[in-house]
Amino acid sequence: MKIRMMPAKPGARTPRGLVMLLAAVLAGAAVAQAAPGKLTPFSQAAPGGEPPPPWRHQTLPKVERENRFALVEDGGHTVLQVSSSSAASTLVHPVTVDPARTPVLTWRWKVSNVVAGSDFMRKSGDDYAARVYVLFDYPSERLPLVDRVKIALARSLHGTELPTAAIAYVWGNAQAVGARGPNPYTDRVHMVVVESGIARTGQWLEVRRNVAADFQAAFGEPAPPVVGVAVSADTDNTREAVTAWFGDLRFEAGE
């Protein structure tokens, strides 16, 4: 959503793109619990427990229902299960990563079904069976004036620093694998469809993305430091339901 420079109406939802970026910053107090550049693996935790810190659940203002996050056993490994039914919230991990040294993010994911109404070209379709956010510490002084004003307003309203650029890797439906473009709510979030449709639902899939190359393609310049990663499923706009599973995420050196 575009951040409008006007007071929010009573009951209005906070812009989704802004909230998802804000979530990683709100978790920043826990960053000291993880080694720089490392994402705490789900596989080292016991099924049935809470996601290991500094992973933390972040709910979204004005969204009535939140996702349910649980550690479960699947194929002999502990993985994260996300259950979403007309709901949205995210699990966030603050991290400090130099994409010039470790630009490749890898993970495994699986979904029960697609979100039929998923379509990143429409605000009403900004729901996904699964998604992984990568949040960057982009210098705000390099943004156009209008974007600097919007972000300054958002920071004053929320009382915290906000990441100013993000990439969202999604399991979509309307767009084919490889499709990319701005989020329908804010062009500071760039969408990349890495899986789409029903053909491979119910299967564990390995994903490997060079976030530095994806940032260059999205924003036209070298990637700044990564400050957070978030995982989720989204169904609050479409009022659908999905279950997603995530294996461990990690940053690696490129080939």
Tens digits of residue pLDDT in 59-112: 877 788 999 999 999 999 999 999 999 999 999 999 999 999 999 999 999 999
Number of compact structural domains in the chain: 1
Mean pLDDT within 160-169:
72
**9 found inside a domain:** no
Q: Which residue's structure tokens are 């890495």?
A: 194
**2 found inside a domain:** no
Q: Are 81 and 245 in contact (CB under 8 A)?
A: yes
For residue 120 the two structure tokens come to 């990143």
Q: Is the pLDDT of residue 146 over 90?
A: no
Residue 115 CA to chain centroid, in angstroms?
Answer: 16
Q: Record the pTM.
A: 0.83
Structural domain harbouring 38: 16-252
CATH number (domain holding residue 32): 2.60.120
For residue 75 the two structure tokens come to 């194929």
* pLDDT reported for residue 150: 55
Q: Please, which pLDDT band fits residue 141 given cuts at 50, 70 and 90?
A: low
For 137, the 3-state DSSP assignment is coil
**70 found inside a domain:** yes
Rounded to 5°, the CA angle 225-1-15 comes to 85
Mean pLDDT taken over the chain:
81
* 49 against 198, higher pLDDT: 198
**11 found inside a domain:** no
* pLDDT reported for residue 122: 93
pLDDT digits (tens, 9 = 90+) for 19-44: 444 444 444 433 434 456 789 999 99
Share of the chain above pLDDT 90, in %: 64
Q: Please, which pLDDT band fits residue 154 given cuts at 50, 70 and 90?
A: low
The beta strands (E) that lie in 38-87 are given as: 56-59, 68-74, 77-85
* pLDDT reported for residue 19: 44
Q: Report the b/e string of 154-175 with b at 16+ CB within 10 A.
A: bbeebeeebbbbbbbbbbbbbb
**240 found inside a domain:** yes
